[in-house]
Amino acid sequence: MEDTEDTAARSSPRPTRPLDGLLVLDLTLFLSGPFATQILAGLGARVIKIEQPGLGDPSRANPPYYGPRGIHSGRRDEGDLSLSVLKRNRNKESVTLNLKHDEGRAILRDLARQADVLVENFAPGVTARLGIDEPTLRAINPRLVYCSISGFGQEGPYRGPPAYDLVVQAMSGLMTSTGEPDGAPTRSAPRSPTWQAGCTGRSGSWRRCISANTTPKSTGSGWMWRCSTASSRWSSTRRLMCRSRAGHRHAPATAVPA
């Protein structure tokens, strides 16, 4: 005879998650954007990742790889997949669209009509050139939450250069506070600025969706959320700017000359 509790557990419905029923379009690459949408998928949203035909997310080429013969630093079989891509894109669906062609953009606009959230991390100006920027897509879907993650923001003198993680660590002061007291500024091994940008993008998107137990579908109004790798890092570095390098010891706060 089966245990009554085990039978009840198997037959009980799956617990409701905060973003159940929402559709997210994921136009992101590499790390910050895929990490943001990974969290949205974990919260219950249906996430459709849009990738380039033939290439996909460039991170698919990043080792290590997982396949039928285990985990390796290089591809051994045609079906081997990048572990980083598997990790950051779990719970997602994937389609390929060539957004440089009219047909691909038309399909994306059709998807955007049904979507609740769109997340992208192209370089500033790319979505406008492709005709898939926030004003264009919200004209066909006013309730769309449009999240744009960039390196140094959409405007200003630094909008163009790519925000490599090492560059942001240096500019934000993180490297100044990392390392031995008599050593040079040191890079933090985890890509914390990039991860933080993903967290900020995720926070803005899902906060709008579930704030006060409402969703864009119920309020009828969308939102534009912009965040950058640099600003995400700077927002959490202000205390580090007042500390000196102390190696493995806790760094005491020190005065900074005016």
Q: What is the CATH number of the domain that holds 80?
A: 3.40.50.10540
Q: Which domain holds residue 186?
A: 18-240
- Dist CA 132 CA 155 (whole Å): 18
207: Cβ contacts below 8 Å, ≥ 6 apart: none
Asked if the model's pLDDT at residue 38 lies above 60, the reply is yes
Q: What is the mean pLDDT of residues 213-242?
A: 63
pLDDT of residue 257: 43
Number of domains forming the structure of the chain: 1
pLDDT digits (tens, 9 = 90+) for 128-143: 999 999 999 999 999 9
In the predicted model, is pLDDT for residue 188 greater than 70? Answer: yes
222 located within any domain: yes
Q: Is 253 inside a domain boundary?
A: no
Burial category of 225 from C-beta neighbours within 10 Å (exposed 0-12, middle 13-18, buried 19 and up): buried
Question: Residue 148: beta bridge partners?
Answer: 120, 226
Does residue 250 lie in a domain region?
Answer: no
Q: Is the pLDDT of residue 105 over 90?
A: yes
DSSP 25: E
pTM over 0.95: no
Flag whether 27 is in a domain: yes
- d(Cα 244, Cα 252) in Å, to the nearest integer? 8
**Distance in angstroms (rounded) separating the CA atoms of residues 102 and 100:** 7
Please state which of the ranges 21-30, 137-146, 184-193, 235-244 shows the lowest mean pLDDT: 235-244
- For the chain, give the mean pLDDT: 79
